[in-house]
Structure 1
Amino acid sequence: MDVSLFDFDLPEELIAQTPLKDRSSSRLMVLDRKDGSVQHRRFPDLLEYLQPGDVLVLNNTRVRPARLIGSKEETGARIEVLLLKPLGEDRWEALVKPAKRVKPGTVVQFGNGKLRAVVEREAEVAGGRIFRLEYAVSDLEKLLEELGKMPLPPYIHEELEEGERYQTVYSAEVGSAAAPTAGLHFTPELLRRAEEKGVRVATLTLHVGLGTFRPVSAESVEEHRMHAEYYELSEEAAGLIREAQSNGNRVVAVGTTSVRTLETIARDFGEVRAASGWTDIFIYPGYEYRVVDRLLTNFHLPKSTLIMLVSAFAGTEFTLQAYREAVEERYRFFSFGDAMLIV
C-alpha cells in the first residue's frame, strides 16, 4: 500500500499554534460511517452522540517537561536534549540538537550543573543518543519540572504560555513525550455532564513517544516500523469495558493512543483484560477492529501513522474526503486544533 495515498494539501495557516482560551470551544466534525454523512458541530455536542452505558476511554498519561536546554561542559556550546524513554539505572534514550556535536563521551550540563548528561552511545533513532544522567537530588521528576520545558511538536513555533494547556485535565501518570491531544478538549464540567448522563469513564495509560507523530518515511505502508510505547490497563477499567460490550453499549476511544492500547490487548489476549507492557501495533487499512466502536480524534499530519489508523476505522476515501472538507471549512489542525468524531 503506497504511503502517498494518505497525503493531502494543508495550508500552513490552518496548523493551530496556540490552544483556544476555552478547551471545549473547538469545533467537532462528525463522520457517520453508515450513511457517509459529515456534520459540523461544536465539541460540547459530543454528549449528543453518547448514550447511558457507553464507556468513554481516556488516556491519563502526563507529558514530562523533558525538553532541556543546556551546554557542553568542554566548550559551552548550546545543546538541546529531549528525553524520550527511561532505560533504567538513570540511562535514557533522547533526541539531541545539533546531534553532530554530541559524540560518545560528551557531557552536557543543565541548570548550572544541577543535571549532567553523559553520552554513552548513539541510538537507533536519527539524531538519538543514549545518555546517563547524573544529579544530586532524590527526585528526578521534580528536577525536570524545574529545568525542563514542554516538548511541543515541531510544527508549533510559538512558546506555550501555560504548560498545563498541553496536558489533559485528567492527566496523572508522568511519562509521555507528547500529549494525547484528542483529550485536550475536555473540561471537568464536560466530563461531569457525561457521567450524569450515564456514560462510564475508564482510564488507561499509554506513554506517547514521538515516533507516533512522525510522517512515514518508507514508500510502502507495510515497510514502516512503529516505536514501542508502554501501556497499562487496570482490572477496574477492563471490567467497565467488558461490561459495556456484554450489554451492547459502545466503547468510545478518546484518541489514537487509547485505540492502540485496547486493540493491542484484544489482539494479544483475545479479550479486554488487565494488562501492561510495550506495544508497537501499527493499524492501517485492512485492520479489523476488535474493541473500539467510536473514535474521537484530532486532525493529523499527512502520511502519518495516525491518519492511517483513522482511515482503517472510517475508510481511506471517506477519511480523505473529510480532511479535504475540513480544509475548505477552515478547521484548525493538529495538537491544538479541532476534533473529529467517527460514529
Structure 2
Amino acid sequence: MDRVAVLGEARSTLDTVASVFECQGVETVRVEYCADTSVTLPNKPYLLVILCLAKAEGEDLRARPRLLNASPDTPIVLALPPPSLEMALQAIRLGAFDLLILPTTMETVKDLLVRARVIRQERVLRRLTAVSQLSRWFAHEVRNPLTGILTSAQLSIEGSASSDPARRFLKIIVEEGNRLEQFLKRLTEVGRASRGPVVPVDLNGVAERALARVVPQMMVQDIRLQRRFDSQLPEVRIDVARVELAISRMIAIATEAMPTGGVLTITTRHRPEEEVIELEVTDTALVVGLEREQQLFDSCMSAMLHGAGAGLAFVLQTFAADGGELSLRVHDQGCSTLVRLPRNGCEDDADGPHSHC
C-alpha cells in the first residue's frame, strides 16, 4: 500500500503537500509536528515520511535530527522552500532521502514515489536473500545429526523383537524425524529463485490453470469467484511455471483470509500507455489486509516469514525476476494484491536463475 505521512507545523502546508500525493492515489496521514515519529505515526508501514519545513534555514533543520533518524526503514523527504546548497548537503548528511522543493509538481512527486517503491521492493528482496542463506545453513547443520538419529532408530527397530515395548517409541522417533526432515526441505526452498525458461504466453490462461487448483476448496469455503479477464490481453514474456505457482499462492492467501466465505476477484488488465500488464487478486477479508502489509514490509525478518508474508515474499521475488513489481491495497471491503509486468518482459539470458531486468 502506498501510504505517506506528512508532518509539519503549518496546517496549510500539510494540506498542500498531502493533496499532491493524494492526486497520485496515495493514502496520506497528516500529523502536526512533534519530536518522535515512533510516537506520532500510527503502527502502519509507510512508503515515505514527508517533513514540511516552514523555512529553508540550517538552524530549523538541525533542530530535527532525532526525527530524521527515528524511522530508519522509511525514507524521509524534506519539503521546504528553495534551500541553500549548504542546507541541502546538511539534509543529506542527516539522512534525508530527498528534498521536495515547494511548490512542487505532479511529475516530481510521481518520480519520487517510483524511486521509493523500488527501494522498498529491493529491501524486501534483500531480506529474503538473507533469510534464504540463513535457512540453508541451519538446515545443513540440523540435517547431519538428524540423519544419524534416524539411522540409529531404524537399525534399533530392525534389531529388536516385535514384542519389545521400546519399538513403539523408536517408531515415534522415526516418524517425528521424518516430519522434521520435510520441514528442513521446505526451509531450504525459502527464497530460492530457480528460474526457468522465459517464453511469451497468455497470462489469462496461466491464471485459469492456477484457479483450477483452488476452485474445489473455494466451493467448500463458500467463496464466490469473479473473473474479470481482459479479452484483448497481449502475450507477456515470463517464466510460466513459477508465475503460475506465484498466482496460486496469491489466490491461496486470499482464500485463507476468508474461512467463512466471501468474494474472490481475479482481474487482468492491459495498460498500453505504460506498456504494462496487470494481474490483481482481491478478497473481501476485512481484518487481515494491514497484517499482510506489515508482514511483507516490516523490517523484521520473522515478520516476513509469518503467515501470508512468506507467500507474498515469494510472489514478489517471482515477478521481480520477470521485471515486475508487487503492491498491496488495503480498502474498506478487503485487500488486493496487484502485480505489474512489463509488456515485453525480461530476456532469457545466460546469467543464471538470479538475473533480473
Length-normalised TM-score, structure 2: 0.23
Higher helix share: 2
Higher strand proportion, which one? 1
Select the structure with the greater relative contact order (CA < 8 A; seq sep ≥ 6): 1
Query: Which is higher, the Rg of structure 1 or of structure 2?
Result: 2
